[in-house]
Structure 1
Amino acid sequence: MQHDLTIGGILVSPFVAYALLAFALLAFALLVALRVVFRRIRFGRYVANAPLAEAGIYVCLLALVVVLL
């Protein structure tokens, strides 16, 4: 069980730390690589809203980090 983080006397959920970790380490690097792939395969043709699909991929990466940590 993860304990709350104390930052300046304010309790912060561990989920916030996971979200920052996912964005900083995993999501940023993977999304940059995926954007190159998405441009090659013209990802916008397959989905109605490409930025929304990329946000969904970020949420999946965040869930993976939460499950693994």
Structure 2
Amino acid sequence: MRHTFFELVIEGVLVAPFVTYLLAALVVVVFLRPILHLVGFAKIFSHAPMAELSLYVTILCLLMLLF
């Protein structure tokens, strides 16, 4: 199985696909944060920032697997 990765070109500079995945995962987490706040996500965990970081890494891994 062969993957073709498309680099993002910003002003003539090639950006690695991993950076694109990082930014996409960040956008998803930023949009999810208000929803998680309404649900009470931070109250479930003893260390909420670590749980949010874990969620970010999970979304990043899912994006890398899917695309």
On whether the aligned pair clears a TM of 0.5, the verdict is yes
Which of 55, 58, 62 in structure 2 is aligned with 1:57?
A: 55
Output the CA distance in 2 between the equivalents of 1:68 and 1:33: 23
Task: Tell me whether 1:2 sits opposite 2:26 in the alignment.
Answer: no
User: Secondary structure, in 3 states, of the residue corresponding to 1:6?
Assistant: strand
Alignment correspondent of 2:40: 38
CA RMSD of aligned residues (A): 2.1
Alignment correspondent of 2:30: 28
The one-letter code matched in structure 2 to 1:63 is C
Output the CA distance in 2 between the equivalents of 1:35 and 1:67: 27
User: Secondary structure, in 3 states, of the residue corresponding to 1:42?
Assistant: helix
Deviations 1:10-68 (A, max 9, x none): 221011112222222x22222321222225x722xx43x21121111111111112211
Equivalent residue pairs, number: 64
The one-letter code matched in structure 2 to 1:19 is L
Query: Runs of 5+ in structure 2 lacking a partner?
Result: none
Query: Runs of 5+ in structure 1 lacking a partner?
Result: none
Output the CA distance in 1 between the equivalents of 2:52 and 2:38: 12
Task: Tell me whether 1:11 sits opposite 2:14 in the alignment.
Answer: yes
